[in-house]
Structure 1
Amino acid sequence: MSAPLQHQTVLLREAVEALRIRSAGRYIDGTFGRGGHSLAILERLGPEGRLLAIDRDPQAVAAASAIGDRRLLVRHQRFGDLLATLRQEEFAVDEGVDGVLLDVGVSSPQLDQGERGFSFRHDAPLDMRMDTTEGETAAQWLLRASVQEITEVIRSYGEERFAFQIAKKIVAARGERPLATTGELAALVRATVRTREPGQDAATRTFQALRIHINQELEQLALVLPQAMAVLKGGGRLVVISFHSLEDRIVKRFMRSQAAPDDAPKSLPLRAAELPQPRLRLLGKPVRASAAEVASNPRARSAVMRVAEKLVLKAA
């Protein structure tokens, strides 16, 4: 097993301040990770405040359970099942919650623990599952997927222009011996991709794409956003930190769609007060990590935080 590693939470102060913590509020951290955001929220909560922390990674859940704070409820769950989780819990959300935080994508411990199979920097079993208790590993999927399926995943999620060539090599290689380790896959990709941006390993895009696919990360994000909207009370905040352009695009489009009033047929004789109302108010511009934070934690470089507030709908 890898030695324990320190995890640097990205945009910690900015995210917690954006939530505008109320002492007796109810909050949801949909991606506990190693608890940086959750611990900062608990520091600002009073005795009556409550925090629900969710994570699909059993190691993250174990870290959260070790905190031992009565204000903290911990659950092993995908955030795409947020409403189902709340229906099973005594979290007093009848009137809605005051804030939902999502820090999406892979966490530093998942990347740094070689045995998890997320990174080509360690030669380890080709797993890549965030939840190691269920689902296919990357090795299992690559063993059965077609050239077309592998190409589509690597091209769509990795934006890799050599996706077809990589997919063909993977299928050809498994005819002799299945790809079982991160080192084997990385070597195959490097032998296939002859040109790459300076400073970037040729395997980076392929590994990213497979991880996103195996964990259905974009699908889970698209599922959780409307659920977060549903559980927020009027004035509650939705804070989302993403690390990939595809993630940020989903968040941006969702928030913008909810911040615009529903279209009504132009032929309908409606007064302004009768027009469909927007559900969200966008707060500020997208926030990025400071130069100082990026210098101390290079993984913060791609982080983008978007914040929105649920509007109190006016009575008709």
Structure 2
Amino acid sequence: MSSGALAEHRHVPVLLDRVTQVLAPALQEPGSVLVDATLGLGGHAEALLAACPNARLVGIDRDRAARERAHERLAPYGERVRIEAAVYDELPEVLDRLQIVQVHAILFDLGVSSLQLDAADRGFAYRFDGPLDMRMDQSGGPSAAEILREYDVPALTRVLREYGEERYAPKIARAIVAQRDRAPLTSSADLVELLTRVIPAAAQRSGGHPAKRTFQALRIEVNDELGAWERALPAAIDALAIGGRIAVLSYHSLEDRIAKTFLAAGARSSAPLGLPVELPEHQPYLRLLTRGAEEAPATEQAANPRSASVRLRAAERIRSSTTPHPAPKGTR
């Protein structure tokens, strides 16, 4: 079995039934448009196309291998499917190119996909030895190895602390710079060995794999994941028709914090305190569809360990808005 087929075999879409339940009501009318902004292997998209025969799909992914796999999987749906090579913050450009004015449901399944994690040559997983690449789009941009070679101690510390929430960020950054003066870090095994050596043994016993936070931080930096997410979320809400729905699957606190802040702001009045009458432009433009963040049930977590960290938030567009949305606040 090829690495791509193996990844597809292992791929289990997270919260599949719940995501379908949340988004399907907005996709019942003929001509309804679903945007899967993080298409991956197409598992969520396939379920929604099957459940909503009147809907058509715009699938977006920057990863060429993922697009190819999704195209094969979704081929039975023919002209109902359009797959675009883009990052999700390029949603407005994609819709303009396709002459789509409004969409009725949008899904974001953030983070790294099964295809990427299971491919040793992509460098995303610390459990495999491979080149330190980590680019979701391998056609351009700096790799993780280049970042480790070029960033100074303050820059590396910032990345590890902000994106990995790594307690030992300064110590790791200094060790990386000292190591590269002798030999560059080019493989996953090189970096894992350094981290195992630098992070105290007591922290490794209680805090999980010593490479987990550093690999996460480098992946986010390489792909500008949080910057793209902060840009994508307001653009997605702008694209939603009245009655349209958005669902967000986040896998770490930084992504979820942005989603929580932005969706909650849209679901409450923006009227200044003391204003005697709430003007229409101050009324909420979103209705939350989840109470806080929903987690995967214990049965799903047991069957699919990758669902253990997921947080689902969803909302419905309830009115148009002529005022700019507040920018979601991330970590920067």
Alignment partner of 1:156 out of 157, 162, 185: 162
The question of 1:81 aligning with 2:94 is answered no
Aligned counterpart, 2:134 = 128
Q: For residue 234 of structure 1, give the secondary structure of its aligned residue in structure 2.
A: strand
CA shift, 1:45, in A, is 2.7
Q: Deviations over 1:194-232 (max 9, x none)?
A: 122537111111111111111111111111110111110
Alignment partner of 2:249 out of 241, 246, 251: 241
CA contact (8 A) 1:158 1:206 kept: yes
The question of 1:12 aligning with 2:19 is answered no
Structure 1 unaligned spans of 5+: none
Letter in 2 for 1:278: P
Aligned counterpart, 2:212 = 204
Following the alignment from structure 1 to structure 2, what is the Cα–Cα distance between the partners of residues 236 and 220? Answer: 22
CA contact (8 A) 2:123 2:130 kept: yes
CA contact (8 A) 1:80 1:220 kept: yes
Q: Residues 240 and 149 (structure 1 numbering): CA distance in 2 closer, same or farther, change over 3 Å? A: same
Alignment of 1:29-44 (within 5 A): 29-44=36-51
The question of 1:307 aligning with 2:314 is answered yes
CA contact (8 A) 2:60 2:88 kept: yes
Letter in 1 for 2:15: L
Letter in 1 for 2:111: G
CA contact (8 A) 2:285 2:321 kept: no
Q: Which TM-score applies when normalising by structure 2? A: 0.89
Aligned counterpart, 1:173 = 179
Following the alignment from structure 2 to structure 1, what is the Cα–Cα distance between the partners of residues 205 and 260? Answer: 27
Aligned counterpart, 2:329 = none
Alignment partner of 1:226 out of 224, 227, 234: 234
CA shift, 1:121, in A, is 0.9
CA shift, 1:176, in A, is 1.2
Letter in 2 for 1:187: E
Following the alignment from structure 1 to structure 2, what is the Cα–Cα distance between the partners of residues 165 and 54? Answer: 38
CA contact (8 A) 1:2 1:115 kept: no
CA shift, 1:265, in A, is 7.0
CA contact (8 A) 1:259 1:279 kept: yes
Following the alignment from structure 1 to structure 2, what is the Cα–Cα distance between the partners of residues 238 and 83? Answer: 15
- Tell me the percent identity: 39
Alignment partner of 2:260 out of 252, 257, 266: 252
CA contact (8 A) 1:26 1:97 kept: yes
Aligned counterpart, 2:325 = none
Letter in 2 for 1:134: G
Aligned counterpart, 1:292 = 299
The question of 1:145 aligning with 2:151 is answered yes
Q: For residue 218 of structure 1, give the secondary structure of its aligned residue in structure 2.
A: helix
Relative to its length, the structure with more helix (as a share) is 2
How many residue pairs get aligned? The number is 309
CA shift, 1:261, in A, is 2.0
CA contact (8 A) 1:264 1:275 kept: no
Structure 2 unaligned spans of 5+: 323-332
Aligned counterpart, 1:2 = 3
Q: For residue 82 of structure 2, give the secondary structure of its aligned residue in structure 1.
A: strand
Letter in 1 for 2:90: D
Say which is worse superposed, 151-160 or 22-31, in terms of deviation. Answer: 22-31
Q: Which TM-score applies when normalising by structure 1? A: 0.93
Q: Deviations over 1:18-50 (max 9, x none)?
A: 00231522110001111110101110232x521
